[in-house]
Structure 1
Amino acid sequence: YSTIIRESRDFSCVILDRAGGLIVPPPMFFHAPVYRHFIGRILDLYGANGRIGEGDVFVANHPYEGGLPHVSDMAFATPVFADGDIVAFAGSIAHKADVGGAVAGSTSANATEIFQEGLLIPPIKIVDGDMGQTDIERIILTNSRQPALMRGDIHAQIAVTRMGAARIKQLCSRFGAHTLTEAFAAILDGAANELRAAIARLPEGEASAEGFLDSDGVDVERPVKLAVNVSIKDGIATFDFSRSDPQSRGPINLRPSMVEACVFYALIGCLGPDLHFNDGMRKAVRLVLAPRTVTNAEPPASVSNYQMVNLKLVDVILEALAKLYPARAIAHSGSSSALTIAWAKARPGQSSMQYEIMGSAYGGGAGHDGASATATHLSNLHITPIEILESEFPCRITRFEIVADSGGPGRWRGGLSMQREYELLENATVVRRYDKSRFPPAGLDGGKPGGGARFVIRLGTREERATEASGRFEMAAGDRFLLQSAAGGGYGDPRQRDRAALARDMAQGYVTRPDDYEPFS
């Protein structure tokens, strides 16, 4: 239904054990640790008194009650019964077009408390024993500016969790419930053992790193520090985030589930792609989170800009891990960003809410250049095709290209960023959320930083300007704006770049300033 699911693929579907343990991770990796928090809360609320039944479907979008990334992500889960007992859960998380709140699209760049970000749904039943709770659904839809899209996406998620439950029941019928639960336990234990063995191959010791977000979107002059100390000892990796800044007024605060996603993603990326995350790996990792910090916020702190924080935190964690395992080092990468356009007048038969996720570029790493113009870290989101945008929304894309010279110079060059230019054909409210403008992606081991992110509004007029931070902008038909993602940092001394690689970059137009790579110019 909504383009954010249909085109950008901002969703996940999973199978969990009876305690909510994830068995196999989804491509949308940052959803992976969330399910344990969501199912755990369901079991706390409904499990002890036997109020979980066959045919139930639960829903939540609450970052504090259900562990969700932000209010716009809605989770559904249904239990799987065999021989009268719960043996598993099937779950799904997906971004919603609008869940209410202060701005259209709900994901405010400047929210100062979570109540401004939309309707909050703690874990509750939306289907009770195969009976849909229509009153619950009506409350949700009544709070949305896009009820038709919401209804379609909600019903799709309910259907997919039921399908997952049906498939698990088939496995129980074929192999027996006991065999299924034993297989789940073996998969979880196997992942824990593999991660412990991989950690044990690292040198014991400690390493730290820190980095800064441009701002929290409210106090635009104040950067926000993210810091980690990594300790490796006895096959256990400990990640301490206590030195990160206090929780912010703006919506850049994280819940523990997101910090977990960043830690496991970075650790697996460092140790080797043959490792596959599941919740068994929690046995080999310890997290230290200080209360009321940006990495462990408490209500009513706003959270809607969590993803750009995730991506900066991944950079910081990878930088610390690089000091322990240089062979897998990578420079800082660009950042995913979001664009929301609430149209005053929609195309006939189409939604008035346009929501896009923008990719950027990876940093260069030991032995390889960074990938250009792609989703970075934690997710596998797709950029919405121009043809879809122009056919469904009153906009025109007048430019879409890779940005020359944006990749950070290095022995291994950072990936190049991309930019898009939009022309509005109707009046609209535009919300742009991004990071890594004030603090561009850093290079590593002598590499140079990548180009920073930009958002330039009212192109070609006397009012043309680059915005200073994420924000909300009222625009008129005929206005044009340009958005540019951040590029990847370079790795290693640029003067050591292979001559053939530099010549290829110049022939392809990726590099037009060879002076950055002296003495080869």
Structure 2
Amino acid sequence: MSELDAISLEVIKNQLEEVAEEMGEVLIRGAYSANIKEREDCSTALFDHHGRQIAQAEHIPVHLGAMPDAVAAVREREPVPGEIWMLNDPFIGGTHLPDITLVSPVGAPDGSEGTLDDILGYVVSRAHYADVGGSAPGSMPAVGQEIYVEGIRIPPTRVATHDGQQKDIVELILSNMRGTAKRQADFSAQVAAHSRGAERLKQLSMTHGKRLTEAYDAVIEYSAERMEAELAEIPDGEYQAQDVLRTVESESIDISVTIRVDGKQVYFDFTETSDQVQGNLNAPQAVTKSAVYFVARCLTDPDIPPNAGCYRPIQIHIPDENLLNPDQPAAVVGGNVETSQRVADVLFAAFGEAEPQMAPAHGQGTMNNLVIGSRRSGFTYYETIGGGAGASATSDGEDGVQVGMTNTLNTPIEVIETEYPLRVERYELRQGSGGAGVHSGGDGVVRTLRICEPATISLLTGRRDTPPEGIDEGECGSTGSNRIGGKVVPGKITTDVESGTTVTVKTPGGGGHGNPVTTDDETDE
């Protein structure tokens, strides 16, 4: 451990976290699209001069857990202070194409710039753009066998230097996205967030001097030691769990994990998971790792600072050309939003084998992705719709919330009806959709939208035929369903519709925790 005293370390740790949070506020307030400014579908973080995560805002798990791969990909290109790098390529540090990541090296406060030795740290943001091109508005087509139909693919690309933006490169990228002007505004908000983050990090360096970089090491070591101590409390042994996903053709895909707990170390092996598939449910390795990190954090003390130290006790094995480590040019847009959710469910279930009181029941297990867009007017509405959370050993699951790998907000009805040619006809809880138990799962929701001009709808949803499972004899939550024009449609579909068409999404409830009969017996007594 560093010789920094505990008080100084706590102060610097909090200041680093405040920088990440402030970056997020600048991005959200400056963004144009509702998906970022209202739903807050974005994340921000800080990395040290070695590319290790040192602080993050309380944003989206699937974004944050995958960020280290993005920073590593940029560092391979030897960036220097004053530059901004953009990427979204899922095979080179990205998650799925709509998630645009910016990485900026921050130089020392004396103004020296131009070499790797000058780097104080990195500021990083990731934001889900409402459209990045591809075959369907919203860039989330239900059917696609290659990544090329999902939008423009951006390897780590320098989009700004200390002399300013490389406008021709930025224009080339953004002109391949529908609603280019709105995408430009969101990009500008990201750049502003990076400017603020760099400014604040330099101020901390001026305040603390060499103690700042000492704090990097100390806070990472502190988190690693805390995580090791927490994981050591899990009984040693091997624990397994398995679940399925449904493809667009309703075929089953196996997701299986074996977890081996050995003292302070935990090993995750996904060898028994299905090979990569022709559709878009393949999850890039960075996304899979983010699910593992998320579950490990959920099962340990929430006060442990989230940084690279949390990952030290964790080892992950995923074979090549696996559903959770696909080879390019596999389609992956559904892997980020749907497969990641099922991986989290499987991981919780496996830990529940070790100790049922430790793990929650399955939440809704899907992000209920709904995209509505027009090829004529160019609007694109995107939302992930909340559902029931799984119950825990101590409390009922929450109703109508985002669960698992997402952490976004609801788009207010007023915003939907003001910014889009859409009308909200129904929005309510699905009472009774949560599974019964000593503690009951949360209820899902029902949302009906009427579309007021010809449009294209894409649905990427799950848990339409396999329900969220309860734990420790708790009952399953209800499955979800989708209707377009009043007719039941599959969980994954892209289709064109006429003006006046309605789309209804009923989201799943969460699983229950504990045998509900026990509760009934206690009530009778």
TM-score normalised by structure 1 residue count: 0.90
3-state SS in 1 of match to 2:172:
helix
Quickly say closer, same or farther: Cα 1:299–1:345, change in 2 above 3 A.
closer
Root-mean-square deviation (CA, aligned residues, Å) is 1.7
Query: Offset of 1:293 from its aligned partner?
Result: 0.7
* Matching of residue 14 in structure 1 with residue 45 in structure 2: yes
Q: Match for residue 443 of structure 1? A: 470
Amino acid at match of 2:105: P
Structure 2 unaligned segments of length 5 or more: list them. 1-31, 113-117
Contact 1:363 1:488 in 2 (8 A): yes
C-alpha deviation, 1:53, in angstroms:
2.9
Aligned equivalents of 1:368, 1:488: Cα separation in 2 = 12
Amino acid at match of 2:44: C
8 A contact 1:308–1:336 mirrored in 2: yes
- In 2, the alpha carbon distance for the partners of 1:95 and 1:410 equals 36
Matched residue, 1:77: 103
Q: Structure 2 CA distance, aligned partners of 1:131 and 1:478? A: 46
Q: Tell me if 1:39 matches 2:61.
A: no
Counterpart Cα distance in 1 of 2:464 and 2:452: 28
Task: Note if 1:107 corresponds to 2:134.
Answer: no
Structure 1 residues 149, 134: closer, same or farther in 2, change over 3 A? same
Larger mean CA deviation between 22-31 and 282-291 belongs to 22-31
Aligned to 1:324: 354
| Paired letter, 1:262 | A
Instruction: Indicate the SS of the match to 1:91.
Output: strand
Shift of 1:31: 1.5
Take 1:185 and 1:107, find their aligned partners in 2: how far apart are those partners?
40
Q: Describe how 1:481-492 pairs up with structure 2 within 5 A.
A: 481-492=503-514
Which residue, out of 385, 400, 405, partners 2:427?
A: 400
Distance in structure 2 (CA, Å) of the matches to 1:444 and 1:203: 18
Residues of 1 paired with 2:354 and 2:104: CA distance? Answer: 42
Structure 2 residue 340 is the aligned partner of structure 1 residue 314? no
Letter of the aligned partner of 1:264 in structure 2? Y
Secondary structure of 1:333's aligned partner: coil
Q: 2-side partners of 1:167 and 1:274: how far apart? A: 24
Cα displacement (A) at 1:171: 1.1
User: Is the 2:65–2:294 contact (alpha carbons within 8 Å) kept by the matching residues of 1?
Assistant: no
Equivalents in 1 of 2:80, 2:322: separation in Å? 38
Shift in Å at residue 396 of structure 1? 1.2
Q: 1:24 aligns with which of 55, 64, 72?
A: 55
Superimposed CA distance per residue, residues 160-180 of structure 1 (whole angstroms, 9 cap, x where no aligned partner): 11210111111111211x221
Q: How does 1:279-290 map to 2 (within 5 A)?
A: 279-290=308-319
Contact (CA 8 Å) 2:235, 2:261: kept in 1 or not? yes
- Partner residue, 1:190: 222
The equivalent residue for 1:425 is 452
Residues 24-173 of structure 1: pairs in structure 2 closer than 5 A: 24-26=55-57, 27-45=59-77, 47=78, 52-65=79-92, 67-82=93-108, 84=112, 85-173=118-206
Aligned twin of 2:265: 236
- Which one-letter code corresponds to 2:320 in the other structure? P
Give the alignment of 1:187-336 within 5 angstroms: 187-215=219-247, 217=248, 220-305=249-334, 306-334=336-364, 335-336=366-367
Cα offset, 1:344, TM superposition: 5.4
Aligned length: 484
The aligned counterpart of 2:212 is 180
How far the C-alpha of 1:498 sits from its partner, in A, is 5.6
Once the two structures are superposed, the pairs formed by residues 355-366 of structure 1 within 5 Å of their partners are 355-366=382-393
Does the 8 Å contact 2:472/2:514 carry over to 1? yes
Q: Paired residue for 1:475?
A: 497
1:120 and 1:106 map into 2 onto residues whose CA distance is 11
The 8 Å contact of residues 395 and 424 in structure 1, kept in 2 or not, is answered as yes
Displacement after TM superposition at 1:480 (Å): 1.6
Unaligned residue ranges in structure 1 (runs of 5+):
460-464, 503-518
Once residues 55 and 130 of structure 1 are traced to their aligned partners in structure 2, the CA distance between those partners, rounded to angstroms, is 8
SS at match of 1:328: coil
TM-score normalised over the length of structure 2: 0.89
Q: Per-residue displacement from partner, 1:271-318 (whole Å, max 9, x unpaired)? A: 332333211222211001111111111101111012111111111100
**Could you list the per-position Cα deviations for residues 114-150 of structure 1 after superposition, in whole angstroms to 9, with x for gaps in the alignment?**
1111111111110022321011111112201110111
Cα distance change, pair 486–209 in 1 and its aligned pair in 2 (3 A): same
In 2, the alpha carbon distance for the partners of 1:344 and 1:64 equals 29
1:428–1:133 CA distance, 2 compared to 1 (3 A)? same
Q: What code does the residue aligned with 1:107 have?
A: M
- Pairing partner for 1:391 from 413, 418, 422: 418
Structure 2 residue 409 is matched with structure 1 residue 376:
no
Quote how far apart the aligned CAs of 1:20 are.
1.9
8 Å CA contact 2:65–2:293 kept in 1: the answer is: no
Tell me by how many angstroms 1:102 deviates: 1.0
Q: How far is 1:469 from its partner?
A: 2.7
Aligned equivalent of 1:2, options 18, 27, 33 = 33
Q: Which of 441, 460, 485 lines up with 1:414 in the alignment?
A: 441
Query: Is the 1:19–1:39 Cα contact (8 Å) retained in structure 2?
Result: no
**Identity across aligned pairs (percent)?**
29
| 8 Å contact kept, 1:311–1:377 | yes
CA distance in 2 between counterparts of 1:404 and 1:435 reads 20
**2:189 aligned partner, one-letter code:** A
Say if 1:341 and 1:354, in contact at 8 Å, map to a contact too.
yes
Contact 2:442–2:510 (8 Å) recurs in 1: yes
User: How far apart, CA to CA, are the structure 2 residues paired with 1:415 and 1:196?
Assistant: 32
Are residue 496 (structure 1) and residue 518 (structure 2) matched?
A: yes
Whichever residue aligns with residue 15 of structure 1, its letter is L
The answer to which of 358-367 and 238-247 deviates more is 358-367
Contact 1:20–1:35 (CA<8 Å) still a contact in 2? no
